[in-house]
Amino acid sequence: MKTLQNLWLKRVRWSILPCLLATAFSAFAAEPDYREIEFAKVGEHSLKLDIYLPEKVEDPKLLVWVHGGAWRRGSKEKMQIPGLLDHGFAIASVSYRLSPVAKFPAQIHDIKAAIRFLRAHEDKYGYDAEKVIIAGSSAGGHLAAHVGVTNGHAELEGDIGEHEDQSSDVAAIVDFYGPTNFMTILHQSTPHGLSVRVPALELLLGAQPEKVSELAKLASPVFHVDKNDPPLLLIHGDQDPQVPINQSHELHGAYKSEGLADRVKLEVIHGGLHGGEEFYDAERMQLVSDFLMKALK
């Protein structure tokens, strides 16, 4: 049995490798117009962002990108949606404190601080931040969805940065294969998924979800959905071995239960794993652009 399981895990790892490589290369398809901008400081920890601007677009709509990496690694340099620049969107790729540095909800506090900073400096950098979009992949998809469904949540706002007079609200969400319910994800996971998710959640929450259930629920987007939430686009592969597609189904269902069926869309990538170029190709970037243009109206 162990031999069969090892062979299965090796097969999964090799099947994921091309996806990871394609994703990594796509991240370097564009260079930021503004790099390493400090938007806040927590102790000695500097939080920075990069800004990408589309060519020949005056006051483009702003999208905030949140990188993945199981909350414990990754960086703002992994900006996976350069194709949206061709659709006229400005993109701010933001950093946040990783879980070995700070536990949840520090990551949400940091991202909301970045949004407030970006609103305060829209004239300086040349984008329109009246209606901010947030998007992310994997752990970044979780954080993007979480920020989006907690507009105005006092406990999750935080006091990071110098622009507390600005709003951290977002007007639309794009979640690429992110976790949405920490109370169910481990029960839904493959052996490979458990090998990634168990230690990642331990770092993020300080313990396994069932041992800190109130914190786990606070960290789960599905428990925050209400009728006032912004439009949401979910994109997930039906063969994802790391984050089960049921996680996106749960958030999709939570929206529908609140009567928001007209504000939510789930795009299933048939045969899709955990990322890969098919999630960010021209067809999907057109889909994202169309969804966002409708949402921002």
Q: Quick one: how far is CA 269 from the chain centroid?
A: 17
Residues 117-127: tens digit of each pLDDT = 999 999 999 99
Q: Quick one: how far is CA 236 from the chain centroid?
A: 12
Residue 120 gets the label, from left (phi > 0), alpha (psi -120 to 50) or beta, of alpha
Residues 31-54: tens digit of each pLDDT = 999 999 999 999 999 999 999 999
The count of residues in the chain is 297
Residues 154-195: tens digit of each pLDDT = 999 999 999 999 999 999 999 999 999 999 999 999 888 899
Average pLDDT over residues 210-237: 98
Q: Which domains does the chain have, with CATH numbers?
A: 2-296 (3.40.50.1820)
What is d(CA 52, CA 98) in angstroms, rounded to the nearest whole number? 23
Rounded alpha-carbon distances, angstroms, from residue 76 to 26, 140, 184, 197, 285: 13, 10, 28, 21, 19
Sequence letter at residue 101 = V
